[in-house]
Amino acid sequence: MWRPAGPFLASPVVHASVVSGRAGSHIGANMPVEVVTQPTEEPVSLEDAKEHLRVEVSAEDKLIARMITDARQWAENYTRRAFVPQTWKLWARQFPSSGFNQDGESRIIPPNREFLAEAIQLPGGRVASVSSVSFVASDGTQQNLSAADYQLESRDPWKPSIVLPAYGTSWPSTRDQPSAVQIQYVVGYASTAAVPSVIRQAILLHVGWSYANREPKAFGTTGADAQMMAALQMKLADYRLFEFA
């Protein structure tokens, strides 16, 4: 069963502390996620943005570059999907089991979905690789799992990626404490060229709105702003991720 992963973020530039209150936290439903390594490129180049804005001088290049980053972060938060390669770290209370999810909350696995009982959901869309899986063992020691101890399932771009224990094994026991499990992974489309054109266009629309409205104001509430919000939502709707119930 799938369900929406959280409320729409009304602010055009909000990115950090979306769900967890941690400094540098990012996209996710109720899962603390930190951006460990920021993207080195944006899906929209400065040249593309200036062409969209019809700006020919370089005096505002730094301002426009910041607007591109703001727009990308806004769109990532709305879709709950990373657009360009970046490294994230997920904290979980425990490894999931048949009766409890990774936050230690009780749950019921639907029939014929038993393989999800031990799945750890990784927010952010298509995960390229898992860098490390570490945990606090029952005796309080910090342990690292070998890459042979788990497997990544990230083939479906329309569902969250998941990490499972290796076939025929189960997750180890952890100490009962917050953030006992930490998973670091690389997420995002393989390159800026791989970012769908509709996402790039949505970022350009957001840059255009920010360039024309530089003073603080409510975004998407009335008139032209509401039309802009509707246009952005329409363009990004098909790329919005959902999470496991």
Residue with the two structure tokens 């790329």: 239
Task: Confirm if 239 and 123 have CB atoms less than 8 A apart.
Answer: no
SS3 content of the chain, % helix, strand, coil (to 5): 30, 25, 50
Residue with the two structure tokens 């930490």: 182
Tokens of 119: 């799945």
DSSP symbols for 45-90: -HHHHHHHHT---STTHHHHHHHHHHHHHHHHHHHTB--S-EEEEE
pLDDT computed for residue 224 by the predictor: 76
pLDDT computed for residue 4 by the predictor: 34
Domain ranges for the chain:
8-15+41-84+192-244, 86-187
pLDDT computed for residue 117 by the predictor: 82
pLDDT computed for residue 213 by the predictor: 85
pLDDT computed for residue 100 by the predictor: 78
**CA–CA separation, 169 and 119 (whole Å):** 13
CATH architecture of 8-15+41-84+192-244: Orthogonal Bundle (1.10)
pLDDT computed for residue 30 by the predictor: 56
pTM of the model: 0.78
pLDDT per 10-residue tile (average), the chain, 245 residues: 32 31 40 89 96 95 96 94 95 85 76 77 93 96 96 84 92 92 95 94 95 72 77 91 62
